[in-house]
Structure formats: structure tokens, C-alpha cells
Copies of this chain bind each other. A is one copy, B any other.
Amino acid sequence: MARFLKSREKVKGKMPGALIFQGEQRQPEVRLSCIRYNETHIEQFETDISGLDGLVIPDMVTWISVEGLHDTETIRKIGEKFDVASLALEDILNTDQRPRFFEDDDQLVIIMKSMAFDEKTKELHSDQVSLLLGANYLVSFQERTSNLWDDILYRLQKSKGRIRRVGSDYLAYALMDTLVDSYIINIESFGHTVESLEKELIEPEKHHAETIFRNKTEITFFRKNIRPVKEVVTRFEKTEVDFVSEKVRLYYLPDLADLATQAIDAIEIYYTMVADQLNIYNTNMNNKANDVMKVLTIFAAIFIPLTFIAGVYGTNFEYVPELTYKYSYFLMWGVMIIVAGAMLAYFRRKHWF
């Protein structure tokens, strides 16, 4: 299957708004966990679809984390409970969405990607992460269980920083900030791989070309998923829903936009570096080929004349005066050594070896 496009076949001709999970099933069942907190209280528990009724209560922020998206029915029910627009719900399920921002009367849907570069296998994985943000609740959708937000959980539990004192809008910001931070960490990790190649390219091998092109593909993949994030943040900044505080809009989100710009800048720098590495590879391969040709030329240019001289005295003419002279043979060797020496001196002066 085409890597950069998950199949739309399933959706073709379906009513826009029909719910179809476009992606691979990545874990056995959908898991719903819930955290409810305010400045003074916090409670954390697992739940299921039936437990969603009455879950969101005033004066507390409720964060429901949905892990696993393949069970369309469950997702549909969650959508119903939270009165999510069907198009938005479709986008949450279609894990091939580009990052986007979706605004309804009293809800925001934010779709982003988690990126994980595995430094061992040199493979880049990406899952879709969606946030459904309401006045005092946030539902996060992930394709599978991850420890992406463990630090935020920890801070919530320990009541560190301002996170317990502020609303769901700040929680959304914190989750997105963690996500973008993880982009930068992964780009850095990818950057190691790219930079470590640099030294190897002084002695290029054929397989390096493949590595370079694979790196280029990875960067394209990074870029595709990270570039639209800035637009998402910008649209978030301009939202008109009233539960996003001015503090978050004018203070935290611009900082997040800057962080996203930093990620994009880093990607562009590595893009240039990979393109340069291809140039280095080709230049060095070319230089190697030239070295091969020099060896050929040196051998040919030295021995071909000598072989010619030997050939001349291998002729069977009845009268070849040199043949009868006693020291001719040694003279021939002398001439040969002089010729070879002259050639070598010439090539040395030309810096051929």
C-alpha cells in the first residue's frame, strides 16, 4: 500500500460524515481512562462507554483519554455523548488526516500527529492524536496506549505548576506543547543519524546512497506532519469560543507557535544537510572513479610502451642489428627503466598518485 496515503477506498462514495476507521488496528480493545480535577481535588479511574454519562461535572476539569480507535461503534457513541459534529468525528477516525483545527459552536477539535523516530531501526512511526476540547472537558484520542503524556499526569497528580489551577484550555495547550516538544526530541534523534553519516561519506560505499534517500523520505514525512501544526496553533489562537482564556490565546499559544517554528526550521536545516550529503556522496564516488581511472592510466601508460619495445625485439627479421650486440638485452632493460621512471615522474608531477 502506498505509504504516504492510507486507503480512501473505504470512504469512496460513502456519505460524507459516515464513520469509518481508516487505519490499522493497533491494540486489542479501546481503553477509556479518566481524570477529573480542580485545584483542590483529583480523581483518576478507568471507565467504559456507559460510564460517560454524567462524567463531566461543573467546577472540575474532566480529561478522558481514549486509546485505540478501531472500534467505530464506541467512538460513535463517545461522539454522540459529546455531541461532536459528524465530519469532525470522521476526521478523528481517519488516521491519515493532515494536522488540522476544527471549530464548532462550543467545541474545538485539534488533530495532530505523534512522531517517534527509532534510532536503532532508523524507522519513523507516526500515530494520530486528536483532542476534543469543551468548556470543562477534554477528550484525547490516540491510536494506541502510549506514555506520551505521563509527565503531565504526574504533574496533575502532584499538583505541580499551574496546571491544577487553570482550565481545560491550558490542559489542551500542555498536551500540544508536549507533543511539539517530542517532535523536536525526535528530530534531534534523527539529526544524530544524519550527522553521523557525514563522516562515513568520506569513504562512500554504494549502500550509503540508499541511506541518504531513506533519510530524505523520513524528512518529507516529518515535514508533512509538522508543518501544518503552526497553522493549527494560529487558528487556535484566533478561536472565538469563550472557554479559551486570553492568557492561553495571547501568551501560551504564541510560545507554542514559536516552538513549532523551531521544529520546522530544524527540519529544513536537516533537509538541506541531506541534500548536501547526496552531493558529497556523488562527489566522493566520482573522485573514487577518477582514482580507478588513474590507476588504469598509470599502468597502461607505463607498460604499453615497454611491451612495445619488447615486441620490437621479438620480431623475426633476419637482419636486426641490435640483436647481435652482446649487451643489447641489458640496454633494453636500461631504456625500459628510464621510460618507466620518466612516466612515473610525469604522473607524480601531475599529482596522480
Question: Which A residues have a C-beta under 8 Å from some C-beta of B?
Answer: 1-5, 7-9, 11-18, 85, 87, 91, 96-98, 100, 149-152, 154-155, 160-163, 173-174, 177-178, 181-182, 184-185, 187-188, 191-192, 195, 202, 205-206, 209-210, 213, 216-217, 220, 224, 251-252, 255, 258, 261-262, 265-266, 269-270, 272-273, 276, 278-290, 292-297, 299-301, 303-308, 310-324, 326-329, 332, 351-352
Are A315 and B293 within 8 A (Cβ)? no
A181–B351 CA distance with the chains assembled, in angstroms: 43
B255 touches A220 (CB 8 A): no
Q: Within the assembled complex, what's the spacing in Å between the Cα atoms of A100 and B261?
A: 11
Asked if residues A16 and B297 are in contact (CB atoms below 8 Å), the reply is: no
With contacts A7-B188, A224-B269, A316-B320 taken as known, whether A258 is within 8 angstroms of B100 at the C-beta atoms is yes
Contact A163 B304 (CB under 8 A): no
* Closest chain B CB from A177 CB (angstroms): 5
CA distance A252 to B17 in the complex (A): 10
Q: Taking the nearest CB of chain B, how far is it from the CB of A172, in angstroms?
A: 12
CB distance from A89 to the nearest CB of B (A): 12
A182–B265 CA distance with the chains assembled, in angstroms: 23
- Find A276's partner among B85, B162, B216 (CB 8 Å cutoff): B216
Residues of B within 8 A of A292 (CB): 290, 293-294, 297, 352
Known: A12-B182, A272-B220, A285-B287. A265 touches B98 (CB 8 A): yes
Question: Are A313 and B313 in contact, with the CB atoms below 8 A?
Answer: no
A326's partner among B1, B3, B318 (CB-CB below 8 A) is B318
Docked-complex contact A304 and B301, CB < 8 angstroms: no
Query: What are 7 sample pairs from A and B whose C-beta atoms fall under 8 A apart?
Result: A2-B188, A5-B187, A13-B152, A209-B284, A216-B276, A307-B311, A317-B332
Q: Which B residues lie within 8 Å of A174 (CB)?
A: 15-16
CA distance A284 to B273 in the complex (A): 21
Q: Are A12 and B308 in contact, with the CB atoms below 8 A?
A: no
Docked pose: A279 CA to B273 CA in angstroms: 16
Q: Let me know if A255 and B299 touch, CB within 8 A.
A: no
Closest 6 CB pairs of A and B: A13-B151, A310-B311, A15-B161, A2-B191, A313-B315, A296-B297
Q: What is the minimal beta-carbon distance from A231 to any residue of chain B, in angstroms?
A: 10
Among A150, A283, A327, residue most surrounded by chain B Cβ atoms (within 10 Å): A283
